[in-house]
Amino acid sequence: MFDKILIANRGEIAVRVMRAAKELGIATVAVYSTADKDAMHVKLADESVCIGPPLASESYLYIPALIAACEITGADAVHPGYGFLSENARFAEVLQDHGIAFIGPKPEHIRIMGDKIEAKKTAKRLGIPCVPGSEGGINDDLEARRISGEIGYPVLVKAAAGGGGRGMKVARNEGELSAALSTARQEAKAAFGDDAVYLEKYLEKPRHIEIQVLGDGRGNAVHLGERDCSLQRRHQKIWEEGPSPALDVEERMKIGEVVAKAMRELHYLGVGTVEFLYENGEFYFIEMNTRIQVEHPVTEMITGIDLVNEQIKVAAGGVLPYKQSDIVFHGHAIECRVNAEHPVSFRPSPGRITYYHPPGGLGVRVDSAVYQGYTIPPHYDSLMGKLIVHGRTRTECLMRLRRALDEFVVDGIDTTLPLFRTLVRTKDILDGAYDIHWLEEFLADGGMDGKDST
């Protein structure tokens, strides 16, 4: 087992990793920018090292500073959390070159799954169902028109190195295709430094379903069920739940075993999430995230398995202690991402929290790194915490969520709490009848008009 883990991240995920490490008896090192000197992860760590100014490229993304922090403190492993360098294969390789363990997948798997085109080819090879589309990057408009004609409009142009909805454009007919290609390439080049794009069939009303996996790199792997992440705005998830209201047990176990079998064949190491669009009873692979997910607590609540704990143990060379038959699902869980944003416009709202009262009680969990008097800096992601609730049934879970949201008080900044208080009282949400476009249509139709935004 590791002696000391450096957490190359900040915010609630840094605190989450520290908790898991401490329960394993492992010392922790926090790194922080000057903007985060008063952050909770700095206060809770056994040691802390300042790695640079607020700009992420000069601190949390600056590999030499992170390596130096490991050498100064004697950390023998690094947990990257999510975001920042968590899916950077080069970072994993540099750590290995310095004799420091990377708590994550093998670099080659990060690299393959980080390229959308290679990921799709690999998924097909492993027997994972994929969205119809181009086999690789699109070289010119003529090729795009040919492929679009074969798979049928509408089509989705996607950046090969994309993420977060950037470099994605819909073309509903041939007349829109050229402009969609041009715009997607420009966005991809600006956001990722790579203008390669590919084509997929555009699904009109799909749900976003993801399968959580865990492997030990030795050919042992299991799936831990699915999460439904269909409530999104601008391709960013805000609400996740498991099990999905759209799937039955047979569908769940069938797609789960397809994914677990693929991870065994790949000899995948650590945690990962294979993401699908689901429509009319069919699953279509879209990407794999080779890291811990923001929404991992949903899976923890319905399985009772500490994913970060297991992630650390297999990275240290441990053998997976579970067979698929050992994974049992209990009840229902929902996570709301509480962002420091206006609940309607989603305008970021950094600033000082003047009053903070998180909810509690049976089946309620709050993963956060804020506290009363803390000032949320403007330099990073607006996620201030996550509210996760569990119930024996989805109905009980929704009622518990309603109660917890009514208890949750954050003053001094705008948050998305009012949005969730509205959603948890909305018929389509209560019925589980939503897709990836539902939230934006709800907001466009004035679903939050007249609602209290404090």
For 125-159, what is each residue's pLDDT tens digit? Answer: 999 999 888 888 888 899 999 999 999 999 999 98
The percentage of residues in the chain with a pLDDT greater than 70, rounded to a whole number, is: 98
List the single range of 236-240, 289-293, 390-394, 447-451 with lowest mean pLDDT.
447-451
Half-sphere exposure of 382 (CA within 13 A, CB side): 20
Between CA 13 and CA 351 the distance in angstroms is 20
pTM: 0.91
Distance in angstroms (rounded) separating the CA atoms of residues 157 and 200: 7
For residues 149 and 216, give the distance between their C-alpha atoms in angstroms, rounded to a whole number.
43
What distance in Å separates the CA atoms of residue 380 and residue 55, rounded to the nearest whole number? 9
Length in residues, the chain:
454
Statement: residue 336 has pLDDT above 50: yes
Q: Give the H/E segment covering residue 289.
A: strand 282-289
State the Cα–Cα distance between residues 358 and 13, nearest whole angstrom.
17
pLDDT at 452 over 70: no
Give the pLDDT score at 117. 83
- Rg for the chain, CA atoms, rounded: 21
What pLDDT score does 453 carry?
A: 47
Catalytic residue positions, numbered: 291
Residue 297: is the preceding peptide bond cis (ω within 30°)?
Answer: no
